[in-house]
Amino acid sequence: MPSDDEARNLAPRNSAFWVYLSLTAAAGLTLIVAALTRLSGHDFLLMGGSFVAVAVLLVLGELRPLMTAGSPDANGVSISTAFVFALLIHWGLGVALLMMTVATILADAVRQKAPWRTAFNVGQYALSFAAAWSVLLIFGHHPSPQHPLTVTGGVLPAIVLSGVVYFVLNNAFVSQALALRNHSGLREEFFCNWGYQIGSTGALIGLAPIVVIVMERGPALVPLLLLPLFAVYATAALSLERERQALHDMLTGLPNRKLLFQRARAAIDNATAEGSQVALFLLDLDRFKEINDTLGHQVGDALLERVGRRLASTVRPEDMVARLGGDEFAILVEGLDDPRVAMDLAELVRSALGAPFRADGMSFEIEGSIGVAIHPEHGADFETLLQRADVAMYVAKDRNTGIEVYSAETDRHSTLRLGMLAELRAALDNHELELHYQPKADLRTGDVMGVEALLRWRHAERGMVPPDEFIPLAEQTGLMRHITQFVVDEALRQLSLWWKSGLRVQVAVNVCARDLYDRDFAAFLRSRLDHHGVPPRALMIEVTESVLMADPARAASTLLSLADLGVGVSLDDFGTGYSSLVHLKRLPVSEVKIDRSFVMRMDVHDDDAAIVRSIIELATALGLRVVAEGVETRESWDRLAVYGCDAAQGWYLAKALPAAEVTKWMAEYGRNAAGLRAVGIEERRSALA
pLDDT digits (tens, 9 = 90+) for 149-190: 999 889 999 999 999 999 999 999 999 998 888 778 888 888
Rounded to 10 degrees, what is the CA torsion of 159, 162, 163, 166?
Answer: -160
Residues 485, 521: Cα–Cα separation, whole Å = 10
SS3 labels along 3-38: CHHHHHCCCCCCHHHHHHHHHHHHHHHHHHHHHHCC
Top-tier CATH class for 257-406: alpha beta
Residue 323: the pLDDT is 93
Residues 555, 486: Cα–Cα separation, whole Å = 22
Return all residues near 119 (Cβ < 8 A) that are at least 6 apart: 21, 25, 29
Q: What is the DSSP string of 634-656?
A: HHHHHHHHHHT--EE-STTT---
Would you tell me the crossing angle of helices 479-500 and 408-429 to the nearest 10 degrees?
A: 40
Looking at domain 430-688, its CATH architecture is Alpha-Beta Barrel (3.20)
pLDDT digits (tens, 9 = 90+) for 436-445: 999 999 998 8
Q: Assess contact for 155 and 149: CB atoms under 8 A.
A: yes
Return all residues near 554 (Cβ < 8 A) that are at least 6 apart: 516, 517
Residues 233, 239: Cα–Cα separation, whole Å = 10
Closest CA to 52 of 94, 109, 90, 99: 99
CB atoms within 10 A of CB 238: 11
Closest CA to 119 of 41, 127, 432: 127
Where are the extended beta strands (E) located within 490-596?
A: 506-510, 539-544, 568-574, 591-594
> Would you list the domain boundaries of the chain?
4-246, 257-406, 430-688
DSSP state at residue 565: H
Residues 150, 142: Cα–Cα separation, whole Å = 11
Residue 671: the pLDDT is 60
Where are the extended beta strands (E) located within 462-603?
A: 463-465, 506-510, 539-544, 568-574, 591-594
Burial class (CB in 10 A: 0-12, 13-18, 19+), 583: middle
Return all residues near 571 (Cβ < 8 A) that are at least 6 apart: 542, 543, 544, 545, 548, 579, 584, 589, 591, 592, 593
Closest CA to 571 of 555, 557, 561: 555
The number of angstroms, rounded, from the C-alpha of 339 to the middle of its chain's C-alpha atoms is: 22
Residue 1: the pLDDT is 44
The number of angstroms, rounded, from the C-alpha of 289 to the middle of its chain's C-alpha atoms is: 15
pTM for this model (two decimals): 0.50
Both ends of the chain: CA-CA distance in Å? 74
Residues 410, 389: Cα–Cα separation, whole Å = 11
- The residue length of the chain stands at 689
Q: What is the DSSP string of 361-389?
A: TEEE---EEEEEEEETTS-SSHHHHHHHH
Helix, strand or coil for residue 574? strand
Closest CA to 368 of 337, 332, 338, 329: 329
Q: Assess contact for 592 and 615: CB atoms under 8 A.
A: yes
* Phi, psi torsion values for 570, nearest 5 degrees: -115, 135
Q: What is the DSSP string of 283-344?
A: EEETTHHHHHHHH-HHHHHHHHHHHHHHHHHHS-TTSEEEEEETTEEEEEEEEES-HHHHHH
CB atoms within 10 A of CB 336: 17
Residues 659, 478: Cα–Cα separation, whole Å = 27
Return all residues near 449 (Cβ < 8 A) that are at least 6 apart: 440, 441, 442, 505, 506, 647
Residues 14, 180: Cα–Cα separation, whole Å = 8
* Phi, psi torsion values for 113, nearest 5 degrees: -80, 150
Top-tier CATH class for 4-246: mainly alpha
Ranges of residues in the chain with a pLDDT under 50 are 1-3, 578, 674, 678-689
Helices of type H across 183-287:
186-190, 194-216, 226-247, 257-274
